Amino acid sequence: MSEAALRPAPCALRGDESRAGDRGFQDARRWEGVRLGRGSGLTCAAPGPRRLPGDPAGPGPPGRPVPRAPNAGEKFPGGGRLGLAGSGPGSGCGRSSAGPGAPPGRAGGNAPRPPPPPSLPPAAAAAALPRRGAALKGGTPPPGALAARAPRSLPLPCLRARRRGPPRRRPRRRRPAAADAAAAAASPAAADAAPGAAGGPGPRPPAPCPWRWLLLLALPAACSAPPPRPVYTNHWAVQVRGGPAEADRVAAAHGYLNLGQIGNLEDYYHFYHSKTFKRSTWSSRGPHTFLRMDPQVKWLQQQEVKRRVKRQVRSDPQALYFNDPIWSNMWYMHCGDKNSRCRSEMNVQAAWKKGYTGKNVVVTILDDGIERNHPDLAPNYDSYASYDVNGNDYDPSPRYDASNENKHGTRCAGEVAASANNSYCIVGIAYNAKIGGIRMLDGDVTDVVEAKSLGIRPNYIDIYSASWGPDDDGKTVDGPGRLAKQAFEYGIKKGRQGLGSIFVWASGNGGREGDHCSCDGYTNSIYTISVSSTTENGYKPWYLEECASTLATTYSSGAFYERKIVTTDLRQRCTDGHTGTSVSAPMVAGIIALALEANNQLTWRDVQHLLVKTSRPAHLKANDWKVNGAGYKVSHLYGFGLVDAEALVMEAKKWTAVPMQHMCVATTDKRPRSIPVVQTLRTTALTTACADHSDQRVGYLEHVVARITISHPRRGDLQIHLISPSGTKSQLLAKRLLDHSNEGFTNWEFMTVHCWGEKAEGEWTLEIQDMPSQVRNPEKQGKLKEWSLILYGTAEHPYTTFSSHQSRSRMLELSAPVLESPKSALSLPQTEVPEDEEDYTALSTHGSPSILQTSMCHPECGDKGCDGPKADQCLNCVHFSLGNVKTSRKCVSVCPLGYFGDTAARRCRRCYKGCETCSGRSPTQCLSCRRGFYHHQEMNTCVTFCPAGFYADESQKNCLKCHPSCKKCVDEPERCIVCKEGFSLARGSCIPDCEPGTYFDSELIKCGECHHTCQTCVGPSREECIHCAANFHFQDWKCVPACGEGFYPEEMPGLPHKVCRRCDESCLSCEGSSRKCSRCKVGFTLLGNTCITNHTCSNADETFCEMVKSNRLCERKLFIQFCCRTCLLAG
């Protein structure tokens, strides 16, 4: 498409609406008060054809014409035209009247009304069209109603709609909190963001709170804004019995257009109604009520716009340009190098060396599209794994704009399958895999859009990677809708020919806002693999959320001074600025692709088991690492640890499928209980894990779900924990300081993987704590209304067979004593016991091998078998042996504190004194320290106090390096108390000393140029000046060369420039003072230096007026009004 086709059409806006432009309802919460037909003053005349982002750009599904949504500029039946800001993305500001020659189906054209459905007879078709001049149903105003109310307005250029339109799933980009606060304070549109700012009748804003109420700690409801209303579209999801033909008939009978089946969901169809508003804060009525009453319609739902954001942290937007490969910049692939700061490998290169590069595996990125002609993506691009859900065509290319906003999907795709050895950009983790893209975030995201995206070609696509979700703002609780949940279930049951589609999800970037990813229904699902991030030094990134559903982690970005991820970028470029948990999901998707090449028969649950078994805590630093009842080390930050590609492919190559999944609803407690304030409510459930039902019995756990309903005056004050029978404590919810909602939770499912491998039977404990904040009335208590415990797992141990037990990766054998047979048995023939029949063979008490007893070895025993069922009776170990021959050696999966795992000898060896965990025996190989010591990050030693240039992290007992700009710091690297030369201390941070005419850019971390009219400033625009440059005056927050009409310059003490003051309200212009007018407004007459009201000039009293004149009071407006004639004679 040419640039001219994307150029905005001119339009006219009135009043405050001109500030909004045509932003496609960029934030529906700002427009929740707008009602069509109530005083909207926006009209638009688009001069020619123009393609909308929502219009079809290619062939639609075979056998069905591509439907067209109502275009901007179309007439309503009866001749009316709609003029409302935000009538569609890129629509050129709403409906307009172009010439009759404009082609139909194009934005800005005067397209004819769509004909009735073809299935109606001619008579019925004529009756189906509204009569001329009649009001439309479903809340549409009568024709011309808007034009009648629209006052005369000035033409202004119309802003083309940005992709961040109405509330929708937008990219998760985050700036540091300081930058966000500064941008919010400096934004001139901040005051226009309130509901009803465009002239609509939206809800009345809350009255400001009196200071007395604040002192009395009044309820937050008295001062909080009303909850935003949902935004409804003109699309419906409808469940119709009888097949596609019956769905077409039902749609036509009620004036709808059937856009086809929703993904692979049988009997669910996507209906579109052209006579309904494209967006409205009110759900539609009228003919839709009759559709609900149709006997063939089992269920229907008008689609709401949802917010989904890409999980990317905003960082330096500058792209890099390379002619040669930047393989060496991929630091996360080179952690084994001598000077690398990341000490633990993800072992991707080791997996490549074994021949696994992702061949014959298909990965698709669910995002804002991918640049399919990018030189690093084109060799592996798969058109059959791609689709444009937003545009309803087969080209997933992103929409280009000046800000390159739709770069997210292309960056994620490069991580997975960027081509190797092509002298361009990077090398993808699965560089021989096929890569596709589903463009679904660049428009309104509804339940239908998500369900369609999750269900595209599930028997062809192996892995779906998604790095987006609900807002990570610390107050949102949202998840997949009814259709998206069914799409997940269909994928894991029918996808990949029954093996199950693999869904990889980014865990979220709301760490700074105190968010908790258990409030995200996508990462909190048993069907998704939730992936978190760690920095190159193994620390928690500032954006990371913690929750019990996280399965594993990868490297990603950290603080602004730490390295980020290099990948492909828009416009065939490369970038070194990819950030956030958006990085981690495609990384894991690529590593899983390597495993699927090693074993393409892995089920979706096999992949989760493999990640649990092969991920390693490595050097990841967290104070909540614990060992669960099955021996797995797990954390709320990192799940089971850093992914290990080599271990994953080696394990996958020999893997035997785990037994069938069972689901057991262990308990449902519907007894209401009050939640005491500043105390803990404990409720227990004793369960047999459905032992009486063979098809439901859960012996060994995988996922555990607590479905909870709670009413509470402030949801963010709640903390919830679940304790398993083995004593493993999972944090299901942490306090969220920004969550002021009083909605509580309704059947919300909290999921944990921390009990993986444990036995399910026993007593489970649910703990709920209410810790009131200062802005809440602590006397109001919450209530636990009901909760259910749902257990997922297997009836038998998933690794009981010898063959599957043997399939552990990198199992170096331990030297073990040979089991000698008694002399009486030496003459017997040596018969080999089949591996798939017995796990170990133990001699009977009589010592005769002719009498054999078979039983299960301990899970940590290797392939040589064992002498008994305990861990200290193994002949060799799968992971490590602890102890020695004198102290009885036993097999363990993880070495205990004070020891490190020697992989070459498969032994647990003791660390140096003072070290709690270590990577070797040397004093410089400590990873963490015992009580009373601090871990020195630079030297990897344990010290009793931190040296200069470092600060003591009391939570993790580490000596951490201060920021390079800090001479001394406390508690945090950037919390400086003394700065180095060339820096100044500001709010606990050291910022560069910027020269006059520049300002400090907290996002780019450098000094930027002020506007040429500014001497000092806080930003680059002319509205962000602090002091004006020479020969400029300060007026209306801007520096101008001369004061405008109605203003006069005035010197201000302490300022290097003059300030423009407003003249008297009667003056058109003035000089030196507000009352010394030089010209008057209409209706006033200049008398001396004063403007007086026009009327018959007369005197009140001659004697009095002579006194006024003699005392030189004629210049005062009050006296002029009474002594007009005398004062005029005075000149």
Task: Return the active site residues.
Answer: 367, 408, 582
Answer whether 750's CB lies under 8 Å from 720's CB. yes
Q: At what angle do helices 645-653 and 584-598 cross, to 10 degrees?
A: 30
The tally of CA atoms less than 13 A away on the side-chain side of residue 995 is 3
CA torsion 811-897-752-636 (nearest 10°) is -110
DSSP per-residue string spanning 849-911:
TTSEEEEPPPTTB-TT-BSSSSGGGBSSBSSEEES-STT--EEESS--TTEEEETTTTEEEEP
Q: DSSP letters of 967-1028?
A: EEE-SSTT-EEEEPTTEEEETTEEEE-PPTTEEEETTTTEEEEPPTTEEEESSSSGGGEEEE
508: DSSP letter:
-
Strand 762-770 and strand 718-723: the pairing is antiparallel
Contact indicator for 983, 969 with CB cutoff of 8 Å: no
Element holding 667 (H helix, E strand): strand 662-669
DSSP reduced 3-state for 449 = helix
CB–CB of 343/619 below 8 Å?
yes
Can you tell me the distance from the alpha carbon of 1126 to that of 1097, in angstroms, rounded to the nearest whole number? 9
Structural Rg of the chain based on CA atoms: 35
Contact 292, 300 (CB under 8 A): yes
Looking at 420-468, list the stretches that DSSP marks H as alpha helix, in order from N- to C-terminal side: 447-454
Backbone angles phi, psi at 652, to 5 degrees: -65, -35
Amino acid at 214: L
Residue spans of beta strands (DSSP E) within 254-305:
257-261, 268-272, 279-280, 297-304
Structure tokens at 555: 């490297």
Neighbours of 1086 (CB within 10 A): 15
For residues 83 and 40, is the Cβ–Cβ distance under 8 A?
yes
Helix, strand, coil proportions of the chain in percent (round to 5)? 15, 25, 55
Q: Give the strand pairing for 899-902 and 1084-1087.
A: unpaired
User: Alpha-carbon distance 631 to 893, whole Å?
Assistant: 7
d(CA 569, CA 466): 17
For residue 14, the one-letter residue type is: R
Nearest by Cα to 366 from 266, 278, 441: 441
- Start-to-end Cα distance in the chain: 70
| Of 1058, 1056, 1076, 1057, the residue nearest 1066 (C-alpha) | 1076
With H, G, I as helix, E, B as strand and everything else as coil, classify residue 319: coil
* Calpha distance 939→960 (Å, rounded): 11
Beta bridge partners of 30: none
Strands 958-961 and 934-936: parallel
Cross-strand pairs, 475:
none
Nearest to 490 by CA among 697, 329, 263: 263
Cα separation of 444 and 232, whole Å?
10
- Angstrom distance (rounded) from CA 179 to CA 269: 44
